[in-house]
Amino acid sequence: MLMPQVNQSRPAETTLFLRSFQKPFIHGTTEKSATLPAHLTRTSAKVGSNQSSNVRIRRSVTPKASLIGNIVNKLTSNVNVVVTVLPTLGGVLTDVGIGKGIDDAKDLLGQSLQLELVSAELDPKTGLEKKRVKGYAHKTSLLDIGEATYEVDFDIPKDFGEVGAIIVQNEHHKEMFLKDIKLDGDGLLNGSVTISCNSWVHSKYDNSQNRIFFTNKSYLPSNTPSGLKKLREQDLKNVRGNGKGERKSFERIYDYDVYNDLGSPDLSEKLKRPVLGGKEHPYPRRCRTGRPPTWKDPSSESRNTLMFYVPRDENFSEVKTVTFGAKTLYSVLHALIPALESVIVDENFPYFTTIDTLFDEGIKIPPDEETKGLLRSAIPRLVKAASDVDDILQFEPPEPMDRDKFFWLRDEEFGRQTLAGLNPHTIQLVTEWPLKSKLDPSIYGPAESAITKEIIEQEIRGFMTLDEAIKEKKLFMLDYHDLLLPYVSKVRQLEGTTLYGSRTIFFLTNEGTLRPLAIELTRPPMDGKPQWKQVFTPTWNATGVWLWRLAKAHVLAHDSGVHQLVSHWLRTHCVTEPYIIATKRQLSAMHPIFRLLNPHFRYTMEINALARQLLINANGIIESTFSPGKYSIEISSVAYDKLWRFDHEALPADLISRGLAVEDPNSPHGLKLTIEDYPFANDGLLIWDAIKQWVTNYVNYYYSSASQIQSDEELQAWWTEIRTVGHADKKDEPWWPVLETPEDLIQIVTTIVWVTSGHHAAVNFGQYTYGGYFPNRATIARTNVPTEDPTDEEWKYFLEKPEGTLLQCLPTKLQAAKVMTVLDVLSSHSPEEEYLGEKLEAPWGVDPYIKASFEQFNGRLKEIEGIIDERNANSDLRNRHGAGIAPYELLKPFSEAGVTGKGVPYSISI
């Protein structure tokens, strides 16, 4: 044939003319020219053909050939397609591998990347899909920045219409990472089209199923172009899988499972852990991996793989330094922690001054060249060359310590950090008295608190009565009593740790700061002893001062545990994974809500999998360095069951639920804060409002009525699956929002975006700032307070050396080094971090209205930067300004790389 068949009607005379040519035709055909290597020519794809593209070489032609070419040009249009591929570890641009030579040959022949253009519309005459345009792209260049391009020219029918999708088959033996696909030519309705891919494409030898990439235009299901409806359904079906078999690393299958892979019962009975998810231990669901069960516990999934499966596009892209955070964390956990265990004696710090050696002198790293090289590249901030032979791990002083070496001792700082520190999510208003536990008194002892009216009124020294303080909203509390008390007996059976139930009461001063008044520590009845509880208060005598410091150390260890296990892991990482899975399973990649949420899910499943593997697993970092030990993650299950509500994840609702705000239409943000100088709330509400305005503009553009929300089957299936499958143990709760109107969708999406951005930033990127000097908020309390059933020898030692008693309670040298290193890594921004509102996603730029709304969002976030700077410079705001006080910057939207204590990324990427 002169040219490929096209799916269109032709005039009879043209058809007869074309049928007179039975052989393939190439301009200026010669035997030599027809066999030139494909990378030296530009190919023209055969429409509707599975064969390799015809080669067109620009040479002089015969009049007859020129006439035929003119007829062809009238029937077809040229479209140039360029595919950009990024370098990856082990991908198609690497220099080693069994299939490398074969893949290079395919690149040379132009047969390594097959593309199919799909029309957005069906053929109006037949009602069938128009014939796809198919051909091979050939490798054309390797750019200086490491990117490679593959290129092909298509001749497409004039009536092909708009390109709606491209189907890609990777003919290499290895996967490749596609950055984007750009189409340009007179055959396109708008002249050019860019498809943002940012996705792994598996080798056809691993999976024969081709990849589908839709253009950047977004469509509700009801508005899907006719030619794309089946592809839309097929693409969703592809990522759902069948729920069977063990997942392979190259797959993109999203499904649900319980947390049954935290333990290693085959190694030791001590490493067995309960399944989280279900009636006994309610929990969000994780991504299903399909690994076989362990031998000794059929309910537990084996951990016999180096890396845990996550759907391929949830992995870090491995481009340049984008994996900075995860690779560093992996290096720390796999290389540095074992190295530290080999050189540090697990003993107490003898004096507080010896803690300073971690910052002044550091810790010598064993002379293992492989380990040193890995750590030098992974954590250059911490690992420094001491000589040609030795490297040392030397910590940077956290900013509060750098400003005031004794900041951790001050009660004012204790109160300030509840509002402007690492865990500002748990302080709550005291609304009733006396304080009472909701636990069963027959098991846990008398319910009423030992903090009496007399103790409180003595501490506030005539300012007002207790009743007046409650009425005027002056009393606040950290309440970890009922959450921790059921685990006290269990934890105390573990070696090297202890636990209490605790309550801490604060008074709001006229300066807007919180002054701690009393700490209550409680032990339930155990070991034949009755309930024990004691109240500690600030005092002026030496014994009382040290007892108060010890009580604070216990409360701060409780707060550290609740922060890491609940405010951080549970309320951001853990609850978000079901949102991601449901979004990928139920919302098409061309759905506008998918494209709105997708940036907020980048790398979260990967970092969660790494956490299951090395952080929250049996005998992992959390269990070995936090007070609850092996019960740590189980406690987060109790918090999920008793405390977590989706509707309270929204910042305004969270503040109201804790008594820290009331609705007030005349106040900024529609809320009146109970504590006016509450840095987390003040800055957080700025971010919340900016997010909500952006989401409102976006949602209202696509949904103008409630009927559109209710009839969107993908959207409804998405929200139903989040509630009933991803959070199955909470599916019957009455507080789940309904999804019936655009306003409902705006609130739901804003909440999800806030959790993945602002909420996570507030509890993550200050970890080293406030926990790097561990006496400020130690993760573990190892000994009981000396007033609880002390021996004569223990009490004598306390009186003679109270500093030693406190150091015995705080982490050991090894525990401190482990925690400080991990907190430094977790607090660090990757050089490739993507911050909230900073970058316009390609699909958002297609429509001028959405693009303008995003630019408004970006502008507002830049304004917020300045507002926060002004607040930190305001001397009237005592919780963020003053001598030796570090400014509150955790919710400043943007940041440079490293440990900065600021910056709000789009997603939970570390």
Q: 216-238: per-residue pLDDT in tens? A: 999 999 999 999 999 999 999 99
Select which of 216, 608, 764, 858 is catalytic. 764
Comparing 86-95, 226-235, 416-425, the range with the smallest average pLDDT is 86-95
For residue 361, tell me if it sits in a domain.
no
Give the pLDDT score at 384. 72
% pLDDT > 90, the chain: 74
What single letter denotes the amino acid at residue 787?
T
Whether the per-residue pLDDT at 50 is higher than 60: the answer is no
Q: How many angstroms separate the CA atoms of 379 and 375, rounded? A: 6
CB 654, CB 671: distance < 8 Å: no
Domain termination residue (choose one: 200, 218, 236): 218
In a domain, residue 108? The reply is yes
Residue 378: predicted pLDDT:
67
Confidence (pLDDT) at 723: 98
More confident residue, 283 or 198: 283
Q: How confident is the model at residue 87 (pLDDT cuts 50, 70, 90)?
A: confident
Of 84, 212, 201, whose CA–CA distance to 150 is shortest?
A: 84
Rounded to an integer, the average pLDDT of 409-415 is: 97
| Residue 166 domain flag | yes
Place of tokens 């290389």: 335
Handedness of CA 732, 733, 735, 737 (dihedral sign): negative
Range with the lowest mean pLDDT among 29-43, 335-349, 533-547, 676-690? 29-43
Q: Show which of 158, 186, 218 is a domain's final residue.
A: 218
Catalytic-residue membership of 619:
no
What pLDDT was estimated at residue 143?
66
Instruction: Using pLDDT thresholds of 50, 70 and 90, give the confidence band for residue 189.
Output: low
Is the pLDDT at 581 greater than 90, yes or no?
yes
Residue 192 lies in a domain: yes
Asked if residue 120 is part of any domain, the answer here is: yes
Q: Is the pLDDT of residue 387 over 80?
A: no
Q: What is the mean pLDDT of residues 501-525?
A: 97
What's the average model confidence in pLDDT over 135-157?
84
pLDDT band (50, 70, 90) for residue 336: confident
CA distance 730 to 284: 9
65, amino acid identity? A
Determine the average pLDDT of the residues in 724-730.
98
Tell me whether residue 250 is in a domain. no
Q: Are 337 and 371 in contact (CB under 8 A)?
A: no
* Catalytic site includes residue 568: yes
Q: Which residue has the tokens 């064993």?
A: 366
752 is catalytic: no
- What is the overall mean pLDDT for the chain? 87
Per the domain annotation, does 859 fall within a domain? no
> Which stretch of 100-109, 317-326, 694-703 has the lowest confidence by average pLDDT?
317-326
**Catalytic entry in 760, 864, 879, 885:** 760
Catalytic residue among 173, 558, 563, 573: 573
The two tokens of residue 836 are 């909230």
The more confident residue out of 346 and 672 is: 672
Determine the pLDDT at residue 493.
97
Q: How many domains does the chain have?
A: 2
CB 746 within 8 A of CB 709: no
Q: If 0-12 CB within 10 Å is exposed, 13-18 middle and 19+ buried, where does residue 581 land?
A: buried
Instruction: Please give the C-alpha separations between residue 803 and each of 351, 549, 601, 791, 808, in angstroms, as whole numbers.
Output: 7, 10, 46, 18, 9
More confident residue, 445 or 174: 445
pLDDT over threshold 50, residue 468 = yes
Per-residue pLDDT reduced to its tens digit, 810-841: 999 999 999 999 999 899 998 888 999 999 99
What is the pLDDT, as a whole number, of residue 317? 57
The mean-pLDDT minimum among 299-313, 328-342, 482-496, 522-536 falls in 328-342
Position of tokens 């395919």?
106
State the Cα–Cα distance between residues 69 and 503, nearest whole angstrom.
86
The average pLDDT across 542-554 equals: 98
In DSSP terms, 293 is beta-bridged to: 301
Domain CATH for 193? 2.60.60.20
Q: For the segment 610-620, what is each residue's pLDDT rounded down to a tens digit?
A: 999 989 999 99
Domain boundary among 197, 218, 239: 218
760 included as an active-site residue: yes
Query: In CATH, what number is assigned to the domain containing residue 558?
Result: 3.10.450.60
CA–CA separation, 72 vs 68, rounded Å? 6
Both tokens of 303, joined, read: 């951990």
Confidence at residue 367, expressed as pLDDT on a 0 to 100 scale: 66
Domain with 90, as residue range(s), is 74-218
The catalytically annotated residue of 181, 580, 868, 910 is 910
Q: CA–CA separation, 61 vs 908, rounded Å?
A: 60
pTM of this prediction? Answer: 0.90
In a domain, 728, yes or no: no
pLDDT of residue 91: 53
Closest CA to 651 of 424, 442, 851, 866: 424
910 given a catalytic annotation: yes
Average pLDDT over residues 491-507: 98
